[in-house]
Amino acid sequence: MLDVLEKPITYVKGVGPKRAELYKKLGIVTAFDLLCHYPRSYVDYSVQIPIKDAPRDEVCVVRAKLVRKLAPAFVRKGLTVFKAVLTDGSDDLTLIIYNAEYQFRSLCENREYILCGKINGNLVRREISSPLIIPADSPDLIQPSYHLTEGLSQNMLRQNIHTVLDSIGSQIYEPLPREIMNRYSLCALDFALENIHFPRDPHSFEIAKRRLVFDELLTLRLGMNLLRVRELKATGCRMAQQSIRDYYASLPFELTGCQKRAIEDCCTDMCRGYPMNRLIQGDVGSGKTAVAAGAAYFAAQNGYQTALMAPTEILAAQHFETLSGFLEPLGVKVALLTGSLTPKKKAALKEAIKQGEYAVTVGTHALVQQSTEFARLGLVITDEQHRFGVGQRETLASKGENPHKLVMSATPIPRTLAMMIYGDLDLSVLDELPKGRQKIETYAVTGKLRERAFGFIRDRLSEGRQAYIVCPMIEENDLELQSVTEYADRLRKTSFKDWRVGLLHGKMPAADKESVMKRFKDHELDLLVSTTVVEVGVDVPNAAVMLIENADRFGLSQLHQLRGRVGRGQYKSCCILVTDNVTEDSVKRLKILSKVSDGFKISEEDLKLRGPGDFFGSRQHGLPKLRIADMSSDTELLRSAQAAADSITSKDPALTAPEHAGLRELADRLFARGTEA
């Protein structure tokens, strides 16, 4: 569609093989890629102030006439200082340029220039050093500033992009149907590309940006819809409506309304004839496992097997206990398949699963996915504590005849975001906690109170409880690792010398991690010092206190996840957030946690305070990388783009109509670009 633009970047006049190599480092291979390399920021020369009003030490823009150039001063070898005097009528200004002789020579006396930089000096003589300078009659008063790599300069990018826009810009094909452009008042793509790089004026820039953000969100949604359409075309095992009242009745508690609704959503999905693709999103402790068990029970009633996959052996064992507790009394057999079984037992168990003797198999991903055969696999459940990508979701279903899929996620994500991230999944939200859940008392304190907090923890340990201390390890590097290890050693020797202290971090071999976690679970350890690896949903009901060091280094949602590790039993639990970074902002953030216990509300706050980075930064969701859209601020556009995409999909699900060829290509391109940084 964008033929000319698909040409390699060397096709652009002024770009040779050497520069093409540099562009490649920025992921720019074709002329179109270059146009999609949007500016990171802009220098706006259009808003000028009088020199006499220029505030000190702040970047500002002035317009002044160059009165005279002074003789260059050769300070030493390699340092020549060029100076000139300018005036705008309000005051004089001395321009200082270091070494850039070429630039200095291009300036003419008696011409007007616009300068952008910091104005310093004293009251007698104001000075501006190495500012950005453009002639006052320049047509582009708003100049783009790009993300660069060594060897490329702003000017090179500006020039090359200019060339592309001038030579082939008008041949840019319009991928959006006219009707959508009209309905959402969107400008044409060529106008948008031109004005995102070289805005004619602030208004044109806004219009251009709106169009490009819209395109990106639309494309993302269309891509998600394509994934879903592929699913709908597949045939899945059609189950028949069955009563699950027996399941409800056998539970030791009454399910919440939203748990029941989620189970019923699953049952309906599994009766439709195409594979279910559903996400259960629920706050920590909302009872996702009981929902999973309900769906598994329904599948079993229909004569189908269920596989439940957990990220670690411990979690698998924990799910096995819960599921067999719920289901075995109803005659539904549950197997636990783990690496720690003897080869003989493992083989026997696999054979039994293959023969269909077990209705439910619980295990780690590796084990269940790779080498296990099922007699009649109907449902695959993944307990993914938010580490899951679109691509992985797709490959998951390679077992059995397109089994139904249920994903459990514990990351509460604001609805607007969830719609985008999980656009290819149906969503059931557990937004109500089971009755009688105790609030986790949360306190924020400074390091001065650390010893007192330790005393408080020791008191709880004396009562027979257990505790966590979480240390942030932002990067899993050796330095951070060393400090966590030393921290644990220090506690062992000082404040907790009479207690059994364990250490858990991400760099440990998986088997060691499992064994430490198991010892903590079995109460062979009283205190667990851990990095955030403990975040993953392990249930230790006896753990009643958590202390989090440097709490300000975490996002609110993550802190909320972490504290969800306590308060899982009958004991009153609390979470102590320690921070020495007592800024207004950090205090405000941590206060939210002491007041609010609803994970969804917290994630909304997080989104407002920190932007979507926490959700997208690590790209755990496998969402394609966005160039210009910003999920937190573009809510209105997000809705419009979703509606537009869905209306296109409803008419042309696979985007095969000729008028959608451009969109199809954009969607493929976005998803092909993948999730790498």
Contact call for residues 1 and 659 (beta carbons, < 8 A): no
Q: Which residue in the set 537, 567, 599, 612 belongs to the binding site for ligand ADP (CB under 6 A)?
A: 537
Over the window 371 to 410, marking each residue x when it contacts ligand ADP by CB under 6 A and - when it does not, the resulting string is ---------------------------------------x
| Between 288 and 393, CB nearer to ligand ADP | 288
Segment contacting Mg ion by CB under 5 A, of 133-141, 144-152, 301-309, 531-539? 531-539
Nearest to 535 by CA among 164, 302, 284, 348: 284
The span of 147-155, 178-186, 529-537, 616-624 binding Mg ion (CB under 5 A) equals 529-537
Q: Is 624 in the site for Mg ion (CB under 5 A)?
A: no
**Cβ 383 to Mg ion, closest distance in Å?**
6
CB-count burial class (<10 Å; 0-12, 13-18, 19+) for 607: buried
The answer to the question of residue 317 lying near ligand ADP (CB under 6 A) is: no
CA–CA separation, 489 and 81 (whole Å): 57
- According to the binding rule CB under 5 A, does residue 567 interact with Mg ion? no
| Binder of ligand ADP out of 59, 201, 243, 253 (CB under 6 A) | 253
Least separation in angstroms between residue 575's CB and ligand ADP is 16
Which of 15, 291 has the CB closer to Mg ion?
Answer: 291
Q: Which is nearer to ligand ADP, 144 or 363 (CB)?
A: 363
412 binds Mg ion (CB under 5 A): no
Binding of Mg ion at residue 537 (CB under 5 A)? yes
The SS3 assignment for 266 reads helix
List the alpha helices (DSSP H) in 390-477: 390-395, 415-421, 450-462
User: How many Cα atoms occupy the beta-carbon half-sphere of 443 within 13 Å?
Assistant: 14
Residue closest to ligand ADP, measured at CB? 287
> Cβ of residue 565: shortest distance to ligand ADP, in angstroms?
10
Task: Give min distance, CB of 254 to ligand ADP, in A.
Answer: 6
By CB under 6 A, tell whether 289 contacts ligand ADP. yes
For ligand ADP, the binding residue among 37, 211, 288, 350 (CB under 6 A) is 288
Interacting positions 75-104 with ligand ADP (CB under 6 A):
none
CA angle 167, 173, 174 (to 5 degrees): 130
The pairing of beta strand 142-145 with beta strand 41-44: antiparallel
Instruction: Specify the residue, 30 or 597, whose C-beta has the smaller distance to ligand ADP.
Output: 597
Rounded Cα gap, residues 127 and 70, in angstroms: 14
Within 386-473, residue ranges assigned H as helices are 390-395, 415-421, 450-462
In 381-509, where does DSSP find H-type helix?
A: 390-395, 415-421, 450-462, 478-493
Token output for 665: 């290509």
How far apart are the C-alpha atoms of 214 and 496, rounded to whole Å? 56
| CB-nearer residue toward Mg ion: 535 or 605 | 535
Q: Residue 281: how many CA atoms within 13 Å on its side-chain side?
A: 22
Nearer to ligand ADP, 126 or 288 (CB): 288
Residue 287 makes contact with ligand ADP by CB under 6 A: yes
In the region spanning residues 423 to 442, those forming contacts with ligand ADP, defined by CB under 6 A, are 434
Strand-pairing partners, residue 547, are: 469, 576
Rounded to an integer, what distance in angstroms lies between the CA atom of residue 654 and that of residue 376? 31
* 282 touches, from Mg ion, ligand ADP, none (C-beta below 5 to 8 Å by class): ligand ADP
Distance CA 602, CA 598 (A): 6
Which two tokens mark 627?
A: 């160039």
Contact residues: ligand ADP, CB under 6 A: 253, 255-256, 259, 282, 284-290, 410, 434, 537, 539
